[in-house]
């Protein structure tokens, strides 16, 4: 199970359920939806959430798609167990349903319902998943988080916000849109944090295939000489680029 790891985030293993009272009521072969409907045990619910697959991608019906997506959405946004929210986000990351990016966006904001440390883990997981989503919603929130100023507060608060910005920078490496490269470039010019700058550089390398140092001048010269990644299907963002004078 692939999970993000960032310097200020607690590890998945540290967020565990303490309710084992109903564990013996279910068998390992019970369908995940049955467990999720009846169990209040966080560990069992998380395990069931991990087993859910996207129905339409596996020969299922539209009705099954709606039911599974509803269960995962409720878990990602409202479950009282942080472990379950994390697993719901992790499972949703594999879905192709167009509604998923909106759920992941809301999961990021609703993570504030938990204490700051736990909420930080959930926020980072949601941002990482938005990178995989490669959607306009995902691009918008990743850029927003990347551009947020450093927090004025305790060292822990500053580190948590930096963790989010680092994950956002990494996630933007999944996008080939002009907005992604320009915002990564802008951060190279404006921010001095080494870890964050290196993440921006790595994402620019992933987007362009060009190996350059984490220096604004090098990337500015390369990107603004008409070099940018080709898009298989320009779509909405492609029209913006064409309007701005970019050519494939």
User: What are the tens digits of pLDDT across the range 31-70?
Assistant: 899 999 888 888 999 999 999 999 999 999 999 999 999 9
* 222 contact partners, CB below 8 Å, separation of at least 6: 208, 210, 212
Please give the tally of structural domains in the chain.
1
From CA 198, how far away is CA 203, in angstroms rounded? Answer: 9
Higher-pLDDT residue of 152, 236: 152
Query: Rounded to an integer, what distance in angstroms lies between the CA atom of residue 94 and that of residue 218?
Result: 36
Q: What is the pTM of this model?
A: 0.79
Task: DSSP letter for 147, please.
Answer: T
Is there a domain that residue 188 lies in?
A: no
Residue 71 pLDDT exceeds 60: yes
- Residue 159: pLDDT above 50? yes
The larger pLDDT score, comparing residue 48 to residue 29, is at 48
Please give the residue range of the domain that contains residue 63: 1-133
**pLDDT at residue 74 greater than cutoff 80:** yes
Q: Indicate whether 69 belongs to any domain.
A: yes
Q: What pLDDT is stored for residue 243 in this prediction?
A: 46
Q: Is residue 68 part of a domain?
A: yes
In the prediction, which pLDDT does 151 show? 79
- In this predicted structure, what is the pLDDT of residue 98? 94
User: Which pLDDT belongs to residue 39?
Assistant: 86
Instruction: Classify residue 45: in a domain, yes or no.
Output: yes
- Hey, which of 16-25, 202-211, 232-241 has the most confident mean pLDDT? 202-211
157 in a domain, yes or no?
no
- Structural domain includes residue 111: yes
Q: Is residue 26 part of a domain?
A: yes
Q: What is the pLDDT of residue 240?
A: 42
What per-residue confidence (pLDDT) applies to 41? Answer: 87
Q: For residue 221, what pLDDT is reported? A: 94
Do 167 and 132 meet the contact criterion of CB atoms below 8 Å apart?
no
Q: Residue 2: exposed, middle, or buried by beta-carbon count in 10 A (0-12, 13-18, 19+)?
A: exposed
Tokens of 28: 């390992």
Q: What is the pLDDT of residue 216?
A: 95
Q: What is the mean pLDDT of the chain?
A: 84
């Amino acid at each position: 199970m692939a999970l993000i790891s960032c310097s200020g985030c607690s590890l998945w293993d540290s967020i565990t359920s303490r309710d084992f009272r109903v564990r013996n009521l279910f068998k390992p072969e019970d369908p995940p939806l049955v467990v999720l409907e009846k169990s209040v045990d966080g560990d069992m619910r998380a395990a069931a959430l991990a087993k859910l697959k996207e129905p339409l991608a596996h020969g299922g019906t539209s009705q099954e798609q709606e039911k599974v997506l509803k269960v995962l959405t409720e878990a990602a946004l409202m479950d009282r167990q942080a472990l379950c929210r994390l697993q719901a986000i992790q499972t949703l990351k594999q879905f192709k349903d167009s509604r998923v990016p909106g759920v992941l966006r809301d999961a990021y904001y609703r993570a504030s319902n938990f204490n700051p440390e736990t909420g930080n883990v959930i926020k980072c997981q949601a941002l990482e998943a938005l990178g995989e989503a490669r959607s306009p919603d995902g691009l918008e929130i990743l850029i927003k988080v990347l551009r947020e100023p450093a927090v004025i507060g305790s060292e822990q608060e500053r580190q948590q916000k930096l963790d989010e910005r680092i994950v956002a920078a990494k996630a933007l490496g999944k996008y080939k849109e002009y907005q992604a490269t320009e915002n990564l470039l802008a951060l190279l010019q404006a921010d001095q944090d080494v870890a964050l700058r290196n993440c921006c550089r790595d994402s620019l390398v992933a987007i362009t295939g060009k190996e350059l140092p984490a220096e604004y001048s090098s990337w500015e010269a390369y990107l603004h000489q008409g070099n940018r990644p080709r898009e298989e299907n320009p779509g909405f963002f492609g029209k913006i680029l064409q309007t701005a004078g970019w050519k494939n």
